[in-house]
Structure 1
Amino acid sequence: MISDLNDRSREILKLVVESYVETGAPVGSRTLSKKLHENISPATIRNVLADLEEYGLLYAPHVSAGRLPTDLGMRLFVDGILEIGNLTDEERIQIEAQCKTNGASFNQVLEQAGNLMSGLSACAGLVVAPKTEQQRLKHVEFVSLGPGRALVVMVTEEGQVENRVLDLPVGVTPSILIEAGNYLSSKLIGQSLTEAKAVIAKEIRSNKAAIHELSTKLVEAGLATWSDTSDDGVLIVRGQSNLLQDINALGDLENIRTLFTALETKENLLRLVDLTQDAAGVQIFIGAENELFSVTGCSMIISPYRNSEEQIIGTIGVVGPTRMNYARIIPMVDYTAKVVSQMLRQK
């Protein structure tokens, strides 16, 4: 559709969107006439605004008001008119310094990335951590917490650490916990939890398990726990309060609460990662284009990050008002995802 617009219509659409991003308020013909490069009367501008409204790119919130862009108008602007800015050297240094903290675990890096996205964008930072089920193990250890309970510590090759508390079968001693940890270390390191569970099940079926019956039960219980609870990844959201500072632009406060409730449900976590699977880089979802944001007046900018095998394992992004500063936030999200990917390749 952008090719159907003449230069004058494109410029007026651009000015309406830029004004909306800056103020959140409708813009009228007189204001636009002062910003246009050519000398055009307000009457002529009103005719162009009417045409853009007929195309579904603009709308008037009430009679005699100026115009605001629709979601379609924002999409047309982002895809065909927007000039993407470049990060400053200071912003690049800040992103690298915060993500590449020496000694930080991968979980801590993701937490920092979420905080960073929120702080730099003044929106909500969003990070979907990898699914533990599909990551390869580097270390597994069981730690006794007293009678009937143990802590299992898993470290993946990506550096993600996950701790889970298990209820133990009757009769499991600390020595059996050590034995079970040694068994996992000798048999399963370098495999994903899904693969590990299959290996153990095969050994148990063929009666070739090299560990005591109670230890076998412990391993079975532990792997079942991981499989049942961790296959949907982890959602990290930072800066939700940023979305609540401009209620007029975002609409009903309850809609924002509903959005975060939806984001935090398991069935929606992997959908955020799936949105990036077929894309080379940044993906932008504006308002009603994504059902998660259809009633909230929000948009989402996300980019995938990859492991050392170039597999997409998670997503970094920003959720903010439809009038967020796309030119600044798009390169910010893209660069942060690339920095996190570089860290994973070095592990």
Structure 2
Amino acid sequence: MELSQRKEKILAAVVEHYIKTGEPVGSKLLQKDPEISVSSATIRNEMAELSSMGLLEQPHTSAGRIPTDEGYRYYVDHLMGVRQLDDADKRRIEAGISIRNASPENILKRANDFLADMTNCAAISTAPSGENVTIKRVEFVPVGTRTGMVVLLTSNGMIKSRVCRSDVDLNASVIEKFYNIVKTSFVGTELDAIDTATLQTLVASMGEDALTMIPLISTVSELASEAMEIPLMLGGQSNIFHYGDYGATAYELMDFLRRGEPLSKILTDNKKDLDVKIGSENKFKPLENSSVIMAQYDVGGENHGSIGIIGPTRIDYATLIPSVRYLTDMVGKILSQVLNED
């Protein structure tokens, strides 16, 4: 679809006024815009044509126009001037997500909460994907004579732990054998390679130590399986109620956000560095009045996760897109540094 320069100026003005005020935009208001130096009648005709093209709509007969989802899409793709973050904005984001001596999950939670506060939207994020992730380290922390905590660290920084109970004493000799097995059979192994057949082969090779080792080995396997799951983090859901745009549908959206699984699919399906879904472009009906801005972060050049926001279609795209992008890039850098330190 191609628009004349005048139509583009009018469409951009309608979108920007509506984003700012939430009120339908009429020809008299646009006539005051120095960028649009034509009569009110000409503006009305152009707005009518933009409406027939599906880019504007008139909510009430006597009201002005508001953008449709297609109108927002044209604006974002062709007309929007993305605001460049200044040094103060960047420092504020960096300070907001910085946290000392934290696990990747805590870093992501901090970033998620800060993003929700900064944008006044609901914020969503996922940890780095479990694809090609290996076991980096396994530790055993004694708790009692026959009880201990098994802690697993993966190459993408996820830490999982679980209490393990045994029918025999977990003495120094048993723990030494366990560490030897971990070193030779688990460290450096991809998570999805630790399947039932692999464990059966491993146990069969242990001989008389098998019964002693099974609880410990099974715990490592369970933690590896848990680490493959990509956790979803959600924050700022109550921000949805700040927008009158949603009306009664706010409760439907809140219920959708609580369910988690559809959101996780949205983020894990995202393969773009930056993606903006507007209104009806979203797959799920509860998001038909929302826009979703998602960006992908990179950890160590291999593993990826996504961070995004959900707000009404009337969000300030020009400001929020660069903010989400910069925060996401910083999260990737921080996570990469944490993993290199480990």
Instruction: Name the counterpart of 1:291.
Output: 283
Instruction: Name the counterpart of 1:69.
Output: 67
Contact 1:143 1:177 in 2 (8 A): no
Give the direction of change, closer, same or farther, for the CA distance of 1:65–1:211 in structure 2 (3 Å limit).
farther
Instruction: Name the counterpart of 2:234.
Output: 237
Deviation at 1:341, TM superposition (A): 2.0
Contact 2:112 2:233 in 1 (8 A): yes
Gaps of 5+ in 1: none
* 1:212 match: secondary structure: helix
* Matching of residue 337 in structure 1 with residue 328 in structure 2: yes
Deviation at 1:47, TM superposition (A): 1.1
Instruction: Name the counterpart of 1:282.
Output: 274
Q: Deviations over 1:69-115 (max 9, x none)?
A: 11111111000000111112112112223444332221221111102
* 2:228 match: secondary structure: coil
| Distance in 2, Cα, partners of 1:139 & 1:231 | 15
Give the direction of change, closer, same or farther, for the CA distance of 1:234–1:269 in structure 2 (3 Å limit).
same
* 1:35 match: secondary structure: coil
| Distance in 1, Cα, partners of 2:196 & 2:298 | 26
* Matching of residue 314 in structure 1 with residue 305 in structure 2: yes
| Distance in 2, Cα, partners of 1:133 & 1:211 | 35
Gaps of 5+ in 2: none
* Matching of residue 325 in structure 1 with residue 322 in structure 2: no
Instruction: Name the counterpart of 2:268.
Output: 273
How large is the RMSD of aligned CA atoms in angstroms? 2.8
* 2:9 match: secondary structure: helix
* Matching of residue 171 in structure 1 with residue 167 in structure 2: yes
* 1:247 match: secondary structure: coil
The counterpart of 1:254, out of the listed 251, 254, 264, is: 251
Letter in 2 for 1:305: Y
Give the direction of change, closer, same or farther, for the CA distance of 1:39–1:181 in structure 2 (3 Å limit).
same
| Distance in 2, Cα, partners of 1:148 & 1:268 | 41
Give the direction of change, closer, same or farther, for the CA distance of 1:174–1:81 in structure 2 (3 Å limit).
same
* 2:167 match: secondary structure: coil
How many residues are treated as equivalent by the alignment?
336
* Matching of residue 25 in structure 1 with residue 23 in structure 2: yes
Deviation at 1:251, TM superposition (A): 4.9
* 2:178 match: secondary structure: helix
Deviation at 1:149, TM superposition (A): 6.7
Q: What is the TM-score when the length of structure 2 is the normalising length?
A: 0.87
| Distance in 2, Cα, partners of 1:211 & 1:86 | 66
Contact 2:178 2:213 in 1 (8 A): yes
| Distance in 1, Cα, partners of 2:312 & 2:202 | 54
Q: Deviations over 1:101-133 (max 9, x none)?
A: 332221221111102211221112211112457
| Distance in 2, Cα, partners of 1:251 & 1:211 | 65
* Matching of residue 123 in structure 1 with residue 121 in structure 2: yes
Higher mean alpha-carbon deviation, 297-306 vs 175-184, is at 175-184
Give the direction of change, closer, same or farther, for the CA distance of 1:329–1:210 in structure 2 (3 Å limit).
farther
Contact 2:30 2:36 in 1 (8 A): no
Deviation at 1:248, TM superposition (A): 3.2
Contact 1:137 1:191 in 2 (8 A): yes
Q: Deviations over 1:179-211 (max 9, x none)?
A: 435522443222332234479437437x32378
| Distance in 2, Cα, partners of 1:185 & 1:145 | 22
Higher mean alpha-carbon deviation, 175-184 vs 291-300, is at 175-184
| Distance in 2, Cα, partners of 1:204 & 1:104 | 34
